[in-house]
């Protein structure tokens, strides 16, 4: 296993299944391989990708909980594929409206043997289903993220919005019936940048 991945997982306090670290690195290699053709990420360096993609995705794992998870605008599979690798028991659905990105997601799920992953090439507003958690890493500002996915949130569910600097303006622009359950600063090992997880819920839930 990569020393930086091992150290990062330890720093995050994550105890993953035995096969997960090697599978995470295999996912990284697939992402960088397909990136040469499909432009999935601005990163080219395999070592940088450990912090910026793998650990940056896994840092929200303690907040995922049980029940199905939807990753909106999944792109290169972040954070959905690392979460699916870390939690084989978790049903993870990835959706992206760009065909080449959905093709990569489907191929990655097959090559990595991820039986818990479902991929849709669709606009999220066309999707159906109920999800306990809906996450996004670089999809939209908070209010459109919530508005486009509200029909997919299960009763008592939560939105997990991954952000850099705490988006105070976006929080202020939320509809009156959407509440902030938590705004958590995150520390990603090896990443010298601000990260926040904004957990949203329907007011009263």
Q: Enter the pTM of the model.
A: 0.96
Out of 17-21, 43-47, 127-131, 139-143, pick the least confident: 43-47
Average pLDDT for the chain: 95
Name the band, by pLDDT with cuts 50, 70 and 90, for residue 38: confident
Say what the pLDDT of residue 25 is. Answer: 98
Say what the pLDDT of residue 139 is. Answer: 86
Say what the pLDDT of residue 37 is. Answer: 82
Name the band, by pLDDT with cuts 50, 70 and 90, for residue 8: very high
**Cβ–Cβ < 8 Å for 61, 87:** yes
Residue 126 has pLDDT above 80, yes or no: yes
Q: In what order do the strands lie in the sheet with 131-136?
A: 117-121, 92-96, 69-72, 131-136, 153-163, 195-202, 178-186
Q: Bigger pLDDT: 37 or 109?
A: 109
Left (φ > 0), alpha (ψ -120 to 50) or beta: where does 34 sit? alpha
Residue 35 has pLDDT above 90, yes or no: no
| Dihedral of the alpha carbons of 103, 105, 107, 113, in degrees to the nearest 10 | -160
Mean pLDDT of 81-108: 97
Name the band, by pLDDT with cuts 50, 70 and 90, for residue 43: confident
Percent of the chain with pLDDT over 70: 100
Give the Cα separation of 180 and 130 in Å (integer): 20
Mean pLDDT of 65-75: 95
């Amino acid at each position: 296993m990569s020393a930086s991945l091992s150290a990062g997982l330890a720093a995050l306090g994550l105890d993953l299944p035995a096969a997960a670290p090697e599978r995470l690195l295999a996912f990284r290699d697939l992402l960088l391989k397909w990136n040469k053709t499909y432009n999935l990420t601005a990163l080219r360096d395999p070592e940088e990708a450990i912090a910026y993609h793998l650990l940056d995705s896994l840092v929200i794992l303690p907040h995922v909980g049980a029940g199905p998870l939807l990753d909106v605008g999944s792109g290169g599979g972040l954070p959905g594929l690392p979460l699916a690798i870390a939690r084989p028991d978790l049903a993870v659905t990835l959706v992206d409206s760009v065909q080449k990105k959905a093709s990569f997601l489907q191929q990655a799920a097959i090559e990595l043997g991820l039986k818990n992953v479902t991929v849709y090439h669709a606009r999220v507003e066309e999707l159906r289903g109920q999800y306990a958690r809906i996450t996004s890493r670089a999809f939209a500002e908070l209010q459109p993220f919530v508005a486009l996915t509200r029909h997919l949130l299960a009763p008592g569910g939560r939105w997990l919005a991954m952000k850099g600097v705490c988006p105070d303006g976006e929080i202020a622009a939320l509809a009156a019936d959407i509440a902030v359950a938590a705004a958590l600063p995150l520390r990603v090992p090896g990443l010298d940048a601000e990260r926040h997880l904004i957990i949203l819920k329907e007011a009263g839930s």
